[in-house]
Amino acid sequence: MKTIGIIYKPNLEKIAKIFEERLKKERFLVKFVTSTISSTFNGVDVSLIIGGDGTILKTVKKLNSPIIGFKGGRLGFLSSYTTKDLDKFIKDLKENSFVEDRRSLLKVYNKHIEKYCLNDAVAMKEPAQKMVDISVSFKDGEFYFHADGVIVSTPTGSTAYALSLGGSILLPNVNAFEITPIAPQFLATRSVIVPDTEEISVKTNYKILLILDGEIVGNFDFFKIKKSDKQIVLLRPKDYDFSKSIKEKMGYGKNFFTQVR
């Protein structure tokens, strides 16, 4: 793990420079330091992404290397360190002391597009459009929603938009997708969890927006979703534990047992 790239959120240039200097001082080869990724970067052993989950989402599909996310303040779900953990990170880097956290991408396609996303595919009406009739079908069944839209998310995306709409939290290693309606009529509000071996078809009665990882890709009334062979690799410190992110970000309980154990 010798050659390193750094990608930073524009307002975090200062921190990126601190990282660059420190890494050089520690005799690592920093091949690029950039805030704009326009094409696939290659030729580094690892890419450091300095920014939040949004910055990671935007850049990670363009990178071929494993990535390590650094977030200001508290941890994000995709970040492995906060920007204050530089010393600890340098130590882990020297000892190559990481665990691989592999996340699968979704493939979203129809006859016009073939795209990939890490968190979710959101099919959603535009504000001026009427509510839409949606069919979500797969080998083992079909559901219908009269709603503003529907989200199909990976376990990674289950803590993103789907969670805001009432979805469950899927641990990253659950082999499933989560289907969550957006503002459905008729109380059909629950998420449906389906095996990730299913190929999901989404059909609507007119064209609505298709948004992948927050990026609008067009207006469609039909597309399919399946698990892709493509994965991204997040490097995590060895003591990383997904449930910590949940507890930190969501106040998901605290350890009441410290006094009684």
Q: Does 252 sit near a second copy (CB under 8 A)?
A: yes
Tokens representing residue 168 in the block: 């469950």
What is the length of the chain? 261
Q: 32-38 long-range contacts, Cβ below 8 Å, gap at least 24?
A: 32/5, 32/6, 33/5, 33/6, 33/8, 34/5, 34/6, 34/7, 34/8, 35/7, 35/8, 35/9, 35/10, 37/7, 37/62, 37/63
Number of residues that bind a second copy (CB under 8 A): 50
Query: Does 75 belong to an annotated binding site?
Result: no
Least Å distance, CB 1 to a second copy, is 25
State yes or no: is 53 an active-site residue.
yes
The answer on whether 53 is annotated among ligand-binding residues is yes
Phi/psi region, residue 156 (left: phi>0; alpha: psi -120 to 50; beta: rest), is alpha
With CB under 8 A as the contact rule, which of the stretches 13-21, 83-91, 172-180, 211-219 interacts with a second copy? Answer: 172-180
> Applying CB under 8 A, does 187 fall inside the site for a second copy?
yes
Should residue 126 be labelled a site residue for a second copy when binding is judged by CB under 8 A? no
- Residues of span 189-228 touching a second copy by CB under 8 A: 190-195, 203, 205
Write the CB contacts of 61 (distance below 8 Å, at least 6 apart in sequence): 105, 116, 117, 118, 213, 232
What amino acid positions are annotated as catalytic residues?
Answer: 53
- The contact set with a second copy (CB under 8 A) reads 133, 135, 140-146, 155, 158, 163, 166-171, 173-176, 178, 184, 186-188, 190-195, 203, 205, 241-244, 246-247, 250-257, 260
Binding-site sequence positions for NAD(+):
53-54, 58, 119-120, 130, 146, 148, 159-164, 183
